[in-house]
Amino acid sequence: MGTGATTGVGVRPHSLQVRRLTKAYGDQIAINDVSIDVERGRFLTLLGPSGSGKTTILLAIAGFVTPTRGQILLDDRDITGLPPEKRDFGMVFQGYALFPNMTVEENIWFPLRVRGVGRSEAAKSVKASLELVQMGHLAGRYPAQLSGGQQQRVALARALVFQPNLLLLDEPLSALDRQLRGDLQWELRSLHRRLGATFINVTHDQDEALSMSDEIVILREGKVEQIGAPADLYARPATRFVASFLGESNFLAGRLVATDAETFRIAVGDATIVQAGRPAAAGPDGDIVLALRPEKISIGRSRPGTVNAIRGTIVDSKFQGASHHVQVQTAPFGLVKVAMQAWGHAVDLAPGAETWLGWSPDAAVAVRSDG
Partner 1 sequence: MSAAVLGPERRAYLGLTAPALALLAIFFVLPLAQVLWLSVTDPRPGLQNYAELVSNPLILRIWTTTVRVCVVTTLVSVVLGYVVAYAMTRVSERHRGAMVLCIVVTFSFSILVRGFAFVVLLRSEGVLNSALQGLGLIGEPLRLLRNETGVVIGMVHYGLPVAILALFSNMRGINARYQDAARGLGASPFQAFRLVYLPLTKPGIISASILVFIYSLGFFIIPTLLGGGRVVMIAEYIRVGFEETLRWGHATMLSTSLLVAVLLVLAIMARVVDLKKVFGG
Q: Which residues bind partner 1 (CB under 8 A)?
A: 62-64, 83-85, 88-91, 93, 95, 97, 99-101, 110-111, 113-115, 158-159, 162, 168
Tell me whether residue 64 or residue 319 sits nearer to partner 1 (CB atom): 64
Residue number with CB closer to partner 1 (159 or 219): 159
Q: What is the DSSP letter of 133?
A: T
Helical packing angle, 104-113 and 148-160, nearest 10°: 20
Question: Taking the complex as a whole, how short is the minimal distance between the CB of residue 150 and partner 1, in angstroms?
Answer: 17
- Least separation in angstroms between CB 118 and partner 1: 14
CB closer to partner 1 out of 176 and 227: 176
Looking at the DSSP bridge assignments, the partners of residue 263 are 276
> In the chain, which ranges are E strands?
16-25, 28-38, 43-47, 69-74, 77-78, 89-92, 166-170, 199-203, 215-220, 223-228, 250-259, 263-268, 271-276, 287-292, 298-300, 308-319, 323-330, 334-341, 354-359, 365-367
Measured from the CB of residue 100, what is the shortest distance to partner 1 in angstroms?
Answer: 7
CB of 276 to partner 1, least distance (A): 48
Shortest CB 85 distance to partner 1, Å: 5
Closest CB to partner 1 among 91 and 288?
91
Residue 256, Cα to own-chain centre: how many angstroms?
33
Strands 77-78 and 298-300: unpaired
Query: Closest CB to partner 1 among 165 and 250?
Result: 165
CA proximity to 325, closest of 302, 289, 293? 293
Least CB distance to partner 1 at residue 58 (A): 11
Q: Which is nearer to partner 1, 89 or 359 (CB)?
A: 89
Q: Quick one: 48 or 90, whose CB is closer to partner 1?
A: 90
**β-sheet with 166-170: strand ranges across:** 89-92, 166-170, 199-203, 43-47, 215-220, 223-228
Q: Provide φ and ψ at 368, rounded to 5°.
A: -75, 145
Contact 255, 292 (CB under 8 A): no
- Find the shortest distance in angstroms from Cβ 103 to partner 1: 13
